[in-house]
Amino acid sequence: MTRRPHALTYALAALALVAVIGLGLRLAAQLSDFNAARDDLADANSKVSELRKTLAAGVGPPLLDAKAGAPADQLAERMTRLGVTVRRAELTATTPAGRNLIAARFTIEGGADAAAIDRLALWAQANGRSAILETLSAAAAAGGKSEVKLELDALVREPGASPS
């Protein structure tokens, strides 16, 4: 009879040991999840900070100044400097974009060789805060040039605005 109480004691001790080990593993898993969540929160906070800096920077500087002349003509001149032969440049729509700024949609038709199209794409990329190249289509034509049609959104300073 003396063996039974010891067996019961050992069984309860083993059960308690298994319960403690199980709870320890559970606590370790929860601690790991907590650390992962804390790291995710730190990443999210850094992204929020980065987005706030971008928002504070706002839109880019105006690409064209309506006070200096017709925006479509100014854009046609820039396209010509990039090597695009402009046949038609037209301002098709405008939208307010901030204080003394408008976002203008331009449609340009003309001709260009591959190097000029590449320069145009690089120019749009370099002026990404002030201009967005919406569409660019090119169809092969005689003489190594392509017939080009593009739509471009650009920031334009309104005529009565002062330079910032």
In tens digits, the chain (164 residues) has pLDDT values of 455 678 888 889 999 999 999 999 999 999 999 999 999 999 998 988 887 776 556 667 788 888 888 999 999 999 999 999 999 999 999 988 777 888 899 999 999 988 999 999 999 888 888 888 888 888 888 777 889 999 999 989 887 655 54
Q: pLDDT value at position 65?
A: 87
CA 30 centroid distance within chain: 36
Judge whether 120 and 136 are in contact, CB under 8 Å.
yes
d(CA 46, CA 141): 50
Instruction: State how beta strands 64-65 and 146-157 pair.
Output: parallel
93 CB-near residues (< 8 Å, 6+ apart)? 104, 105
List 137's β-bridge partners, or say none.
149
Instruction: State how beta strands 64-65 and 85-98 pair.
Output: unpaired
At position 121, the amino acid (one-letter code) is A
d(CA 21, CA 19): 5
Q: pLDDT value at position 59?
A: 66
